[in-house]
Structure 1
Amino acid sequence: MFISILIIHSIFCFAQNDATISGRIFDNGTNQPLPFTTITVQNGDQIITGDISDEDGRFVISGIAKGEYVVTCSFIGYDELEIPILIGELNNIFDLGRIQLNPSSEELSEVIVEAKQDILSSGLDKKTFSIENNIAQSGGSVMDAMKTMPGVTVDQEGKVMLRGSDKVMVLIDGKQSSLTGFGNQKGLESIPAGNIESIEIINNPSAKYDATGMAGIINILYKKEKESGFNGDVGFAFGLGALTKPKEDLPTELGSFSMNPKLIPSLNLNYKTDKLNMFLLSEILFQEKLPNNEFTTRHYDDGRNTISQVPENRRQQHYIINGGIDFFLNEKNTLTLSGIYDWESHVDTAQVAYMNMDTWKRYRIWHWNEEEITGYMNYSLNWNHQFAEPGHEFDARVQYTKGWEDESYFLNDSSVVRQGKDATHILATEHTTNLALDYVKPLRSGRLESGTKFQWRRLPVEYTITPGSNSIIYPNMGDWSDWGEDIYAGYINYVYEKPKFDIEGGLRAEHTSVFYTISPENIYYPKNDSYNYFELFPSIRLTFKLNQGNSISAFYNRRVDRPGEPELRIFPKYDDPELMKVGNPYLRPQFTQTFELAYKLRWESGSVFLSGYYRMIEDAFQRIYSIDNSNSEYSIVNKIYQNTGSATNTGLELIFSQQVVDAWKLSGSFNWYNNVIDSYNGIMYFPYERTFLLEEATDKTWDMKVNNQIDLPKGLQIQLTGVYYAPKYIPQGKQLARSSVDLGIKKGILKGKGEVIFSFSDIFNNFGIRQEISGEGFNALYENYYETQVARFGFKYKF
């Protein structure tokens, strides 16, 4: 019966005289969708019908009779594209698939007029941030560029927070990378912003994406040249960091670095023919830096009042190479072999002074030296097959990544209670293998997506210590640990599109196996840990197109945040001899359900985007501050990861853009959120077993970002941005307000072949982090005036 219905339905469909044409318009340079592109269907000189693409660049034109036509796609600032088609008797559905429009450029005397992508392109499903036009952060890292993105905050520890949560999945060209495997997303400091085309923020990922990351996904897209032949660019930048000091150093021989020099040469090459495309992006960085400069004022319950400073002075070298080859086997098959090699080495030196605030005498000085080498290698082989029907494709990818961390600490402590030297060494190597299969089938009114993914990760750690007399290092930690995670996943996702509404629904299934094995010599965590679980992760999107440029969407998804090796690692890391960070091998994943309602209005010269979101979190985990009372001679504050029960995250986000006049574009964003962490009573195992009680905590804050783009004659561009983070409540305390003003100037020279850039970030040096913490047995003020103020001058020549 079912087969008979299908046959009758097929006969009925083929008997129809009218045909439907559909497709999706993209920018060929950035691979971003082009909304509001004009599409016309012509028979000779006569225009038969037409349409305008929606927010995602999609269009559907129905009611076309059989015959020969030319479909024309046009958009201001792009070359017009004509596509001939033939509509006969046997097929009445024409999906033209991906349609790529090339940005047009025209030389007028010394003035270069080019089509420019907006710094921020905001859709309902994702937001795309163009890095090329973000000249205020030119010469910096991806981490620097993210500072001005809507809903994103970046802290000194390298955490990227999205809408108030640091549980973010970061992708490189749509793929996972070991770059973020150690210490959250701190590896993003290693990616030069100059090599990046754009950054996507996906707050509500569909089922086709991994379920990791409750706050969403940040996808970093590398540049890839589209022009045929041999081309590229060479550049050089010079910079100075920490030009001023917001607070004077405490008395030591070394103090904190200032006027820190930076040298950044770069070379990018590309060669493209009909048969292949070869690309290479490379950059070298030599610099001095101040990644940490924390003043800590502590008031203990026993009456002691102290102040200390940790000035982390860094000398750094960094090399990164990203290359690959696209083999165009034929019109239907492309094979891509690509790889990234990233190597970074630095030496950190500090003299940490501890002062008694009542007598203003130094009672302790701590010298430390850190030598660290980190990096990763990524190899990827990708096969893409295009079927005869446009948009119908199959993609297979295998990827292997190796990341490493080789860190040595040398500690020298001098105080009334202790004279001693200690040394620690950590060697960690991460191995990740991914196998992914993805399939896309266009349908008359939408598309069907399905796929599977297998991921295997291993991260063994070796830890050795050389304790001195009266060592501050906790004994009996053992000398090794081993962490592994296997994920087996499959998904199906369906998109149904009509002129007035879209429906997208999907389901992802993931089975996860985790183990964490530690040395039997460790006395703090007496047993190894392993567990398995199977979970379903649904996602739903409903979009109603009220009229052209006016739409509303509702989202729902379920996601997970799995603690990684850095959160589980049992070996402590000392910020100073009185403050220590350590992981927790007994952590469990947290699960999140997200609801969001979004509205988008677009007009000829601007747009506005408004959304409200609500998240429910189960088994949330975070760092807890706790004082170690086991030693009567000195106090150590421990920062330990713990599961802390349930929590919620509620917020509002507003993004706007307006072309005020031809030469001035104003854009900005406002984000307000309220995090509530329920009260919780739990058990802490390090360095001894004890209970802890957390009262209900509320983290309520907002931030605002404003961007001005000014285009002047003769290729001169100016960008002025402002960022303000309001005070926020955090677990056990409060973070005070901070702000930054950034300036960028770019001038095209040599008839468009060259450009000079000047950028100055955090001009007034007000972006340092200040936190008031109330812990068990103490109160503290942490003021971290790390390096945020940097001036850079750069030159780039294109050939």
Structure 2
Amino acid sequence: MKKIIVFNILFYFILNCSLQVYSQEISISGQVVDSLTNENVPYACIYIKNQKDSIVTMKYANERGVFVLSYPTKTEGNLYVSMMGYKEMKNNLTLYNKNQKIIFKLTPNVNVIDEVIVKSKAYNVTKKIDRTVYTITEDKIKNANDIYDILKTLPGVVVDEQNKTIRFKGGQPDVLVDNMPANFLYPKLEMLKLDQIENIELIDRSSLYGGEGAGGIINVKMRRKEPYALSAYYSNETSYTIKDKQLNLEENFFNVNYFLSPFLLFNNFDSKIENEINTTNVNGTLLNNNILFDKKNELNSNIYKPVTYDNFGVFIPSQNVNFLLVYGYENAKKNKENITNEQILNTNYNYKLSEIKNDIKNSRANYFLSKLFFSTEKGHELSLSYTYAKYKNSTNIDANQKYNTFQNNINSDSSYNYSSEQIANSSIKYFDFYYNQPLNKTSRINVHASYSSQNYPENIYKYYISDIEYYPFYKASDTKFSKTVAGISYGKKIKRFKIDGTLNYEYSLIAANFTRKINQSDTIISVDLKTPFYSPSLRLSYSINKLNELNLGYSYTNKVGSPEDYLNYTDKQNPQLWQTGNSNLKSEFYNKIYSSYKLTKDSLNFSLELFYKKTNNGITYINYPVTPEVFLYRPENIAMNEQIGSDISFWYQISKRLNINFNSIISHSTYKADELKEIAQIYNITSEKIIRKQFGTVSIMGIQYKFNYKKAGNPGFGIWLNYYSKEISYTGFNYPFFDFDFAISKRFFKDKFFINFSIENILGNFIEKKSYEDYLGIKSNTINYLTENTMAFRVYLYYIFKDGDRGSKDIKY
């Protein structure tokens, strides 16, 4: 017994001594200041790298530049101090072999283009000529679960967290990570580790490439260039729709990365399945040849669409040069079954159509992408990218139609069976060049160019009636569409003003040969359209103070139609919907004026953009009622399409547990389609002058709450309210629509495992989504019962594997 007691005493004594030796650390505390002004530099990053070049520990200075950093005694390596706008400081750890306080003096980087640095608790804001840079601080990271929580705090950035989509400057932005496409390196943005983000750049696309600039660019800069030696990510999304009583395994995604210095090898595999059961009911009247008909139509469609894609490649990151090389493929299949029942009648006429149509599409794509990006501390930037994709598509349609006609007291029945086969092979090439040259601290110039082409060398369409090929409906084509853009931009900062102008030269080419069978012989119909165009744009910015900014911009842009839009030939393969082009079709020319106001604070971000957009020849696709049973689909230039409105986004953090966000687009639209009256007379269709004016809005508000802010991983919930007001078009309008979503989420295993449960479109089963049409003698109400708009339960989860690399698993925060 005594031996056991003595042994236990010795064991605990040795263990205690070992723990004391192991736990010995060196502590460095101090302050980071500006070497020229001796002012505090808040939120600087202080970190230590060991001899394996892995980060051992990292800390951020507070708002006064004060920090405390501890590391194990036996650590060998270097200490770094970095901050946007300053030269990075690097010293060997042997200089700090005792617990001590020290003042780090950072030297401003005088080569950086003239910047204004705004300091706040949330982040530092650096305003450059062509972008605004937000350096994310530790406080901001603590409040965020993923990158979406950070993005929605930035002015002008709107995040739909339920659908994981982002809107910026009125459109979907290009999201980059270290100037490379995020959809390859981080296909799921949740993969980004927040503590590795150095800053986020919000870039007005028009300041780099001119034009309208809708969507902008969001560039996430990572602090660490060396990713994990081996890491992986898995996510799954499953839903259950109440209306369809259907369980959908919507997506399985798997990513794996391996770092073999200096290469990052990656592979992304994704499989998606879409299941939809949709119903559309149309009831109305049709005036044709001065005879009024009642018209009813019910369309039921079942859609099953599995998609599988995989891409793999190599990424070579460095301080000044990044290179990306990707190869990928995609396989998709779409099975669609349509069941249509239509009735057209008046006092002396009753027409009934019943159709069952199966549509099967198969497509395969192979693509290759490469991009090189080079930058210097002085602000030089060079970007080169090339993309090539090849597509093989096939479509098979099999339809059975039954007709019943009652006219002049005579009842007749008939049937019509047809099928078609289509093979379409195509390729896409895209090349992009961009170079930015700083002239001095307050001005810069850039040149840019791009070339894109779409070639369809083989597009063959065969049509069968009762399994016998019907040559008059045979189609073949060889088409090419290309667009070349070359431009120059100049930017200048004058005190609080920034001015930025761009002039682009655009050249569009459509060259197409369409083969049709006329009198059993091939007839070639050619389309040759060349469109040169100069596109100017101008932007003016004024900084009211460090937190408020006003912007004003103008752009003049051009858009041409597709090759088939200019083909003067009527295809009648679909018995109910004929199609034709329009050789007189003109390109769309848009004038747009916009202004914006941005406010940035610690717990509040607000952005307001006012816009005015007008075209006098917008391209619109119109269904003309040739007979009560047959419509003709044809592109036309509408006389005028004018929009004026505002795009508002707002984020406010009420407390550390509660925040709200709101975004809304409010606009007034005007449509004038005087030409339709003249065109309608050609087809003997009744038409009145069409002038429509209407206010409209799309508003989304989100409320999020965390149950316990201090404990990581505790659950939080969110509510999103969605409102879509009455929206007009040249044919009619959509009725207002309101719905809301609810979600609750929780993290496990040190934030590696995440699960989110949501109830979407909670009112979708009770509120009908309706629209109204009134044009060319057509008046109808449409009610849609779509899977995407009905109530659904959804579970989304992901897990991050292998969190650590080459010694960095010991990192401390």
1:648 matched to which residue of 2?
A: 642
With over 3 angstroms needed to count, the CA separation of the structure-2 counterparts of 1:476 and 1:217, relative to structure 1, is: farther
- Pairing of 1:437-516 with structure 2 (within 5 A): 437-442=433-438, 443-460=440-457, 462-468=459-465, 476-497=472-493, 500-516=496-512
Q: Which residue, out of 384, 392, 397, partners 1:409?
A: 397
Q: CA deviation at 1:648?
A: 1.9
Q: Which residue, out of 326, 351, 357, partners 2:339?
A: 351
Partner AA of 1:715 in structure 2: N
Q: Which residue, out of 581, 599, 602, partners 1:601?
A: 599
Q: CA deviation at 1:745?
A: 1.9
Q: CA deviation at 1:400?
A: 0.8
With over 3 angstroms needed to count, the CA separation of the structure-2 counterparts of 1:428 and 1:112, relative to structure 1, is: closer
Partner AA of 2:295 in structure 1: T
Q: CA deviation at 1:496?
A: 2.1
Q: Given that residues 157 and 649 in structure 2 are in contact (C-alpha distance below 8 angstroms), is that contact kept between their aligned partners in structure 1?
A: no
In structure 2, distance between residues paired with 1:106 and 1:150: 20
In structure 2, distance between residues paired with 1:222 and 1:339: 23
With over 3 angstroms needed to count, the CA separation of the structure-2 counterparts of 1:460 and 1:671, relative to structure 1, is: same
1:751 matched to which residue of 2?
A: 750
Work out which of the two has the higher radius of gyration on C-alpha atoms and give 1 or 2.
Answer: 2
The residue matched to 1:394 in structure 2 has which SS?
A: strand
Q: Which residue, out of 38, 41, 64, partners 1:47?
A: 38
Which shifted more, 575-584 or 293-302? 575-584
> Does residue 420 of structure 1 match 2:408?
no
Partner AA of 2:335 in structure 1: V
The residue matched to 2:38 in structure 1 has which SS?
A: strand
Q: Deviations over 1:612-657 (max 9, x none)?
A: 211121421112231013xxxx612334221223332211222211
Q: Given that residues 626 and 775 in structure 1 are in contact (C-alpha distance below 8 angstroms), is that contact kept between their aligned partners in structure 2?
A: no
Q: Which residue, out of 667, 670, 679, partners 2:664?
A: 670
1:760 matched to which residue of 2?
A: 759
TM-score with structure 1 length normalisation? 0.73
With over 3 angstroms needed to count, the CA separation of the structure-2 counterparts of 1:659 and 1:368, relative to structure 1, is: same
2:720 matched to which residue of 1?
A: 721
Q: Deviations over 1:127-153 (max 9, x none)?
A: 44457xx1x336xxxxxx46xx5897x
Percent identity, aligned pairs only, is 13
Partner AA of 1:601 in structure 2: L
Q: CA deviation at 1:100?
A: 9.5
> Does residue 700 of structure 1 match 2:695?
yes
Partner AA of 1:556 in structure 2: Y
Q: Given that residues 43 and 63 in structure 2 are in contact (C-alpha distance below 8 angstroms), is that contact kept between their aligned partners in structure 1?
A: no
Q: CA deviation at 1:582?
A: 5.8
> Does residue 337 of structure 1 match 2:325?
yes
Q: CA deviation at 1:85?
A: 6.6
With over 3 angstroms needed to count, the CA separation of the structure-2 counterparts of 1:774 and 1:678, relative to structure 1, is: closer
In structure 2, distance between residues paired with 1:173 and 1:599: 25
The residue matched to 2:209 in structure 1 has which SS?
A: coil
Q: CA deviation at 1:107?
A: 12
Which shifted more, 540-549 or 280-289? 280-289
With over 3 angstroms needed to count, the CA separation of the structure-2 counterparts of 1:656 and 1:101, relative to structure 1, is: closer
> Does residue 299 of structure 1 match 2:285?
yes
Q: Given that residues 613 and 651 in structure 1 are in contact (C-alpha distance below 8 angstroms), is that contact kept between their aligned partners in structure 2?
A: yes
Q: CA deviation at 1:210?
A: 7.1
2:233 matched to which residue of 1?
A: 233
TM-score with structure 2 length normalisation? 0.71
1:61 matched to which residue of 2?
A: none
Which shifted more, 537-546 or 509-518? 509-518
Q: Given that residues 313 and 348 in structure 1 are in contact (C-alpha distance below 8 angstroms), is that contact kept between their aligned partners in structure 2?
A: yes
Q: Given that residues 768 and 786 in structure 1 are in contact (C-alpha distance below 8 angstroms), is that contact kept between their aligned partners in structure 2?
A: no
With over 3 angstroms needed to count, the CA separation of the structure-2 counterparts of 1:703 and 1:785, relative to structure 1, is: same
1:17 matched to which residue of 2?
A: none
In structure 1, distance between residues paired with 2:284 and 2:393: 32
Partner AA of 1:120 in structure 2: K
Q: CA deviation at 1:350?
A: 2.5
Q: CA deviation at 1:312?
A: 1.3
In structure 2, distance between residues paired with 1:203 and 1:773: 40
1:430 matched to which residue of 2?
A: 426
Q: Deviations over 1:211-233 (max 9, x none)?
A: 5xx68247698999963321121
Q: Given that residues 572 and 582 in structure 1 are in contact (C-alpha distance below 8 angstroms), is that contact kept between their aligned partners in structure 2?
A: yes
Partner AA of 2:773 in structure 1: I
1:366 matched to which residue of 2?
A: 355
- Pairing of 1:119-198 with structure 2 (within 5 A): 119-123=151-155, 127-129=156-158, 134=161, 136-137=162-163, 145=165
> Does residue 81 of structure 1 match 2:82?
yes
In structure 2, distance between residues paired with 1:623 and 1:537: 25
In structure 2, distance between residues paired with 1:41 and 1:395: 35
Q: CA deviation at 1:345?
A: 0.7
The residue matched to 1:752 in structure 2 has which SS?
A: coil
Q: CA deviation at 1:574?
A: 10
In structure 1, distance between residues paired with 2:267 and 2:233: 11
1:658 matched to which residue of 2?
A: 652
Partner AA of 1:42 in structure 2: D
Q: Deviations over 1:454-509 (max 9, x none)?
A: 222213463434343799x9984541123322222211112223562222111111
Structure 1 unmatched runs, 5+: 1-38, 54-71, 139-144, 153-161, 163-168, 175-186, 245-256
Q: Given that residues 653 and 671 in structure 1 are in contact (C-alpha distance below 8 angstroms), is that contact kept between their aligned partners in structure 2?
A: yes
The residue matched to 1:118 in structure 2 has which SS?
A: helix
Question: Aligned residue pairs: how many?
Answer: 673
Q: Deviations over 1:527-554 (max 9, x none)?
A: 5322222211112111111112111111
The residue matched to 1:347 in structure 2 has which SS?
A: strand
Q: CA deviation at 1:706?
A: 0.7
Partner AA of 1:47 in structure 2: N
In structure 2, distance between residues paired with 1:574 and 1:735: 30
Superposed CA RMSD in Å reads: 4.8
With over 3 angstroms needed to count, the CA separation of the structure-2 counterparts of 1:628 and 1:88, relative to structure 1, is: closer
Q: Given that residues 552 and 598 in structure 1 are in contact (C-alpha distance below 8 angstroms), is that contact kept between their aligned partners in structure 2?
A: yes
2:129 matched to which residue of 1?
A: none
The residue matched to 2:535 in structure 1 has which SS?
A: strand
Q: Which residue, out of 234, 249, 254, partners 1:267?
A: 254
Q: CA deviation at 1:42?
A: 2.5
Q: Deviations over 1:709-764 (max 9, x none)?
A: 22222431222111111112221222111222122222101221211111222121
Q: Deviations over 1:348-370 (max 9, x none)?
A: 112222357999x9933210101
